[in-house]
Amino acid sequence: MTLFARCFLLVFCQLGVGGLLALAVPPFHDIARGFYKSSAGVFLFCSAVGGGGAIYLRITRGTASVGTIEAALWGLFLLLFSGYLATLWGEAEQRRARLYLSSLVTGLVALVVSGLAVVQTGGPVFAGLAVLDVLAGAAALGSVTSGMLIGHWYLIDPGMEIEPFRRCFRYFVGTIVAEAVLLAVLMVGMGLQEDPSARAYAPLAGARFLLGPIATLGIAALTARVLAIPQTMAATGLFYIATLAVLVGSFLGRYFTFRTGLPL
């Protein structure tokens, strides 16, 4: 059951780190500071659920569950992220930039460590795919949530230019395409494995592929047409649906990882 908890918490870790990465996409000085405060607060909360859960498992279950280095990385990430969020209420630009970069790098390293820890089969090739998968999944979760949040900001500031929304949308599409490519490579790799058990799990990867990035790309196509009008409220509603699709795909993938030990 500890592995199940780790796979479940990893999704929240991905959302927190991926969300922090996505905050670098919209132009900082063209959007009201309130957007960054509220969005960073949401992503910090998700990070606290995932990273704090890993630390809790380390304290209550010992090193057999979560390693000391992994728990320390998540603790450091939460401290640095909190520091970055605090700087959004001031004008210390250099401190804010340093805290943003250091928290992002720490979070990415922690994600890699956690992603490798839950993958228990497949050898070095699948370990490499696990690193790429956990990072691509984080980027996808962060981009779709950030797109939904910036869409809400147009209700507060209806006069804001449409370009920041479109920039977030383009980033979102790029992350979903990258995730789809990685899952396709993973399915091919599973099909080429000599181990029949690995080939038997290929349909699970196919389900993850269809219910995650492929379904999301369909929603993205509709969103592109709406943004061309532009109609920000409708685009925000579509981002809600896309967020659900990405989350369902992510949780489904982590459940498959729990069942198979493969980076799905």
Domain 2-260's class? mainly alpha
Find how far residue 27's CA is from the centre of its chain.
20
Taking only the tens place, the pLDDT of each residue in 23-60 is 999 988 888 899 999 999 999 999 999 999 999 999 98
Taking only the tens place, the pLDDT of each residue in 115-133 is 888 886 666 777 788 888 8
Is the whole-model pTM more than 0.85?
yes
The pLDDT-based confidence of 197 (bands split at 50, 70, 90) is low
| pLDDT(204) > 80 | no
Instruction: Please report how many Cα atoms fall inside a 13 Å half-sphere around the Cα of residue 5, on the Cβ side.
Output: 15
Q: Could you tell me the residue ranges of all domains in the chain?
A: 2-260
Taking only the tens place, the pLDDT of each residue in 143-189 is 999 999 999 998 888 888 999 999 999 999 999 999 999 888 877 76
Least confident of 62-76, 211-225, 226-240: 62-76
Give the CA distances from residue 90 to residues 13, 37, 105, in Å, rounded to whole numbers and listed in that order.
27, 11, 23
| Three-state SS at 184 | helix
Q: Which of 220, 226, 227, 264 is nearest to 245 (CA)?
A: 220
Q: Two tokens at 73?
A: 């990385």
Instruction: Please report how many Cα atoms fall inside a 13 Å half-sphere around the Cα of residue 10, on the Cβ side.
Output: 35
Q: What is the mean pLDDT of the chain?
A: 88
